[in-house]
Structure 1
């Protein structure tokens, strides 16, 4: 069986960008810079190479990442490589290879973290963003439909490239 699992450690190049699909599924995109540094034995100088990766997180992990991480934070990401292709409005073909995250964690090499567990919601909460579930408009029943005063979501199609 072929496996394309990848683990990268690097710094976030921007704050996570959280959006929601039309079905209410959370999607966060983050950029990571991975530095590699080595000593050039011929010149006795340090050399460096930087690689940039886009990481896509889904569902509750997307919400957790957007609430917990910010530009500059050092993170550890494990996931799989995935290639997507699309056509621009100008009818040009584009493609991108990105990491679809299975796990995202702060690196504790030069930092500390405080973990806050998030309790699982009621059965009717699936697919509803946390800020809507936690709002007074959602109702005391946990799975009740929100009222018309609930905050609007920003929707993005699941296939839209970032």
Structure 2
């Protein structure tokens, strides 16, 4: 049985990455998801039970996970869940596996910087150009040309709080084209 599930938790093991002989990229890691609840008698938050998942990502997601995540980071995961029984000699158990469709850092617990991969950039640029009637190869064909960024430092952008526009500036910008 497969069900869609969204999880939050800690990356409990360093992600393991491999590429098959056919060129399929696979990355997997264990995820610990602990329920937190408020205990009125103690007047504090306490940990509940921890659920353990084996998370597996394929293809480009696997490659991106392998260079983006490390043990101890908090993440959000959406994917297809499978519950499987297993037996290993005298021992038996149940494992819960998630085939990830998307993974990201949980920004409730910290900040993150995003760097767009060149392959993803090329694909989305080609899709945008084709939706504009072009072939995706250049600006002369009727699409939009986007220059490639060779240096990854130019590709990612972390906004410092001092750089962020204040609320009135954002409101002014949003209202600039209102006709009344």
Q: Take 1:29 and 1:84, find their aligned partners in 2: how far apart are those partners? A: 16
Q: Take 1:95 and 1:41, find their aligned partners in 2: how far apart are those partners? A: 34
Q: Take 2:43 and 2:109, find their aligned partners in 1: how far apart are those partners? A: 27
Q: Take 1:59 and 1:97, find their aligned partners in 2: how far apart are those partners? A: 21
C-alpha distance after superposition, 1:65-118 (max 9, x if no partner): 010110111110000112456776x69887632011000001111211111111
Q: Take 1:93 and 1:47, find their aligned partners in 2: how far apart are those partners? A: 31
- Is 1:35 aligned with 2:34? yes
- Corresponding residue of 1:77: 77
Q: Take 2:106 and 2:74, find their aligned partners in 1: how far apart are those partners? A: 5
C-alpha distance after superposition, 1:46-70 (max 9, x if no partner): 4322211110100110010010110
* Residue 3 to residue 38, structure 1, CA distance change in 2 (3 Å): same
- What is the aligned length? 120
Instruction: Return the TM-score normalized by structure 1.
Output: 0.62
- Asked if the contact 2:27–2:56 (Cα under 8 Å) also holds between the matched residues in 1, the reply is yes
- Corresponding residue of 2:111: 112
- Corresponding residue of 2:52: 52
- Greater mean alpha carbon deviation, residues 8-17 or residues 113-122: 113-122
Q: Does 1 or 2 have the higher relative contact order (CA < 8 Å, sep 6+)?
A: 1
Q: Take 1:6 and 1:20, find their aligned partners in 2: how far apart are those partners? A: 26
Report the structure, 1 or 2, having the larger helix content.
2
- Corresponding residue of 1:24: 23
* Residue 93 to residue 114, structure 1, CA distance change in 2 (3 Å): same
* Residue 109 to residue 39, structure 1, CA distance change in 2 (3 Å): closer
Measured on the aligned residues, the alpha-carbon RMSD in Å equals 2.8
- Corresponding residue of 1:100: 99
Gaps spanning 5+ residues in structure 1: where?
Answer: 123-162
C-alpha displacement at 1:41, in angstroms? 3.9
Q: Which has the larger radius of gyration?
A: 2
